[in-house]
Amino acid sequence: MVYCLQKQEPIALGIRRIILERLDAIEQDLTDETLDRDKAVHNARKTCKRLRAVLRLVRDEIGPDLFRRENICFRDISRRLSVARDSFVLIETLTMLDAQYPDTLPASFVANARVQLEERYQAVWHRFWEQEGVIEDVLREIRAARVRLETLPITGDDFGVFARSLRRVYRRGRRAMAAAYEGEGVPHAFHEWRKRVKYLWYQVEILQDAWTPLLLAVAGELHALSGYLGDDHDLAELRRVLLQNPTAFGAESDLSVLLALIAQRREALETAAYPLGQRIFAESSQAFVARMGVYWAAWQAESDVVLQTASDSQQEPPVQERLLTTRQAAELEQISVEQVRHLIYSGKLAAFKLGGRWVIEREAMEQARR
């Protein structure tokens, strides 16, 4: 199951294919008795988020009412599954924190805290799997959604199908980042940013074949950023649960140390996320979408050329050999970086911005030389 649009695939067919394959994946995960329960629920939740990202990508094409209905459907499914998954993540988070700061907490305190979290986890899972019939309800919702989405109304077949929606997601990601760092570490603000980052990550993956080497790298950086923010959120949730019933977890002095470690680790994660976020959200939303539109147009034009020259065995050089930074271009031409930038600003040298930095294709340098 390929989570991206493919060459010469009509947009309507491609989007429907991606959606239906994700729905099949959820059903398979939740009905596979050989799959670990936590893994099955984790996979299903991730797939719901991918489905919401797909719907957001075609939001302006399918209309607000249809988008709202299906987005709420998958949001609610994900929330129902999150209760079970989140209780398990707290145990993992405590284990990770203890490993990152060895010998800082008494072993007896960590062991008791883990027992408390495991008892909470077991109680949630018993209710989730055996009493409430959540899985059966989710499967019914998924099967009903499949019937509805088999005929998802998409009539456009160019980049305009995505442009406004992609601009909205990128713009909201930039704003959420600013809000997170202006909010002085408020967990909710970082969690909101993380949601925007994940939508953009999944949407870049859908469009990745427009320029695979570059967009796969961008998706990888978005994945890394989402990882920082996800760990930050898990630590904030662990802190919240600890403070709900602090006396159950052990001595107050030991709990204070654990809370301090959580704060220290969260600060480190948020510090690491900042420069990565700066690079990813360096452009205006308009510039980002314009650049993605150029990639799409070039990819579509390339499809026809590839068909006409299928017998040509000469392969295109890797992307890292085709692109130059301003410093590399200056060294190649034996001029200063300032002169390269002057050529760009004067329109004599074609270039584009990637992560806030100018990038030049070798072919453009050769054309400017002529």
* CATH number of the domain to which 360 belongs: 1.10.10
Whether residues 276 and 349 share a domain: the answer is no
**Assigned domain for 257 exists:** yes
298 assigned to some structural domain: no
CA-atom Rg of the chain in angstroms: 24
Instruction: Give me 24's structure tokens.
Output: 């099949």
Q: Domain range for residue 359?
A: 317-370
299 falls within a domain: no
Instruction: Please say which residue of 246, 267, 288 terminates a domain.
Output: 288
* Same domain as 358, residue 212: no
pLDDT confidence of residue 109: 95
CB 366 within 8 A of CB 333: no
5 domain-assigned: no
Q: 324 with 277, same domain?
A: no
Q: Which of 223, 319, 221 is nearest to 278 (CA)?
A: 221
pLDDT at position 308? 52
| Predicted model pTM | 0.81
Number of domains in the chain: 2
What is the per-residue pLDDT for 362?
79
Whether 231 is covered by a domain: the verdict is yes
Q: What is the pLDDT of residues 228-265, one digit of tens each?
A: 999 999 999 999 999 999 989 989 999 999 999 999 99
Q: Are 34 and 113 in contact (CB under 8 A)?
A: no
**Residue 323 pairs with which residues in a beta bridge?**
361
Q: How far apart are CA 100 and CA 342, in angstroms?
A: 48
If asked whether residues 235 and 349 sit together in one domain, one would say: no
pLDDT in tens, 1-42: 689 999 889 999 999 999 999 999 999 999 998 988 888 989
- 312 belongs to a structural domain: no
Q: Which helix (H) or strand (E) holds 346?
A: none
pLDDT at res. 329:
83
Give the model's confidence band at 59: pLDDT under 50 very low, under 70 low, under 90 confident, else very high: very high
pLDDT in tens, 312-324: 445 555 545 667 8
Residue ranges of alpha helices (H) inside 32-106 are 37-57, 59-62, 64-100
In a domain, residue 86? The reply is: yes
2 is a domain residue: no
- Residue 346 shares a structural domain with residue 262: no
> Model confidence over 78-116: pLDDT tens digits?
998 888 788 889 999 999 999 999 989 999 999 999 999
Tally of CA atoms within 13 A in the half-sphere of 240 that contains its CB: 12
pLDDT at 321: 60
Same domain, 277 and 345: no
Can you give the pLDDT at residue 112?
94
Same domain flag for 18 and 64? yes
pLDDT of residue 313: 46
Quote the mean pLDDT of the chain. 89
Per 3-state DSSP, the chain is made up of helix, strand and coil in percentages (nearest 5) of 80, 5, 20
Whether residues 100 and 28 share a domain: the answer is yes
Cβ atoms 177, 277 nearer than 8 A: yes
Does 46 score more than 80 pLDDT? yes
128 within 8 A of 84, measured Cβ to Cβ: yes
In this structure, the answer to whether residues 263 and 328 fall within a common structural domain is no
For the chain, give the percent of residues with pLDDT over 90.
66
Q: Taking a C-beta distance cutoff of 8 angstroms, is the pair 341, 268 a contact?
A: no
| Spatial CA neighbour of 108 closest among 244, 250, 242 | 250
Chain centroid, CA 2 distance in Å:
16
pLDDT tier, 157 (very low <50, low <70, confident <90, very high otherwise): very high
Q: Do residues 81 and 189 share a domain?
A: yes
Assess whether pLDDT exceeds 90 at residue 204: yes
**What is the mean pLDDT of the segment spanning 217-230?**
95
Q: What end-to-end distance do the CA atoms of the chain give, in Å? A: 46
CATH number at residue 67: 1.40.20.10
User: Are 283 and 334 contained in the same domain?
Assistant: no
pLDDT at 121 over 80: yes
Residues 265 and 331 in one domain: no
Closest CA to 302 of 11, 14, 10, 7: 7
